[in-house]
Amino acid sequence: MPNDLRPGTCRACEGGVQPLSAAEIDAALADLPGWIWRDNGLEKTFQFRNFYETMAFVNALAWIAHREDHHPDLQVSYNRCTVRYCTHAVGGVTENDLICARAVMALVQ
């Protein structure tokens, strides 16, 4: 896994982008520890020591989402944040979701 926060670049979801197959998603999950594939999306819950750390993570995630123009669904509470990626335009997981999940993993390493 790359050590930078730019493990790829998202591309526009219009124009023939298709969801990844189950085999492609399963193979990708081997390099994304703790991420699960559920309800046509990828998700992982991150634990933190306090609200400040949680919000710092959320703000860093917002920067990644803005840069890639690909935005996760977030569930935020005091000491945890669940991140969920799904390309709603195609109703499933695309390479963009994997790129962003990898960037999140690089962020927390």
The mean pLDDT value of the chain amounts to 89
Confidence class for position 98, pLDDT limits 50, 70, 90? very high
Whether residue 42 contacts residue 85, with contact meaning beta carbons closer than 8 Å, is answered with yes
Beta bridge partners of 62: none
Greatest alpha-carbon span in the chain: 42
pLDDT for the residue 46: 98
pLDDT for the residue 15: 58
pLDDT digits (tens, 9 = 90+) for 16-53: 678 999 999 999 999 999 999 999 999 999 999 999 99
Q: What is the pTM of this model?
A: 0.86
Contact residues for 51 (Cβ-Cβ < 8 A; gap 6+): 78, 79
pLDDT digits (tens, 9 = 90+) for 56-78: 999 999 999 999 899 999 999 99
**CATH assignment, 22-108:** 3.30.1360.20
Instruction: Give yes or no for residue 2 having a pLDDT over 50.
Output: no
Instruction: Give yes or no for residue 3 having a pLDDT over 50.
Output: no
Domain boundaries in the chain? 22-108
Can you say whether residue 67 is alpha, beta or left, with left for phi > 0 and alpha for psi between -120 and 50 degrees?
A: alpha
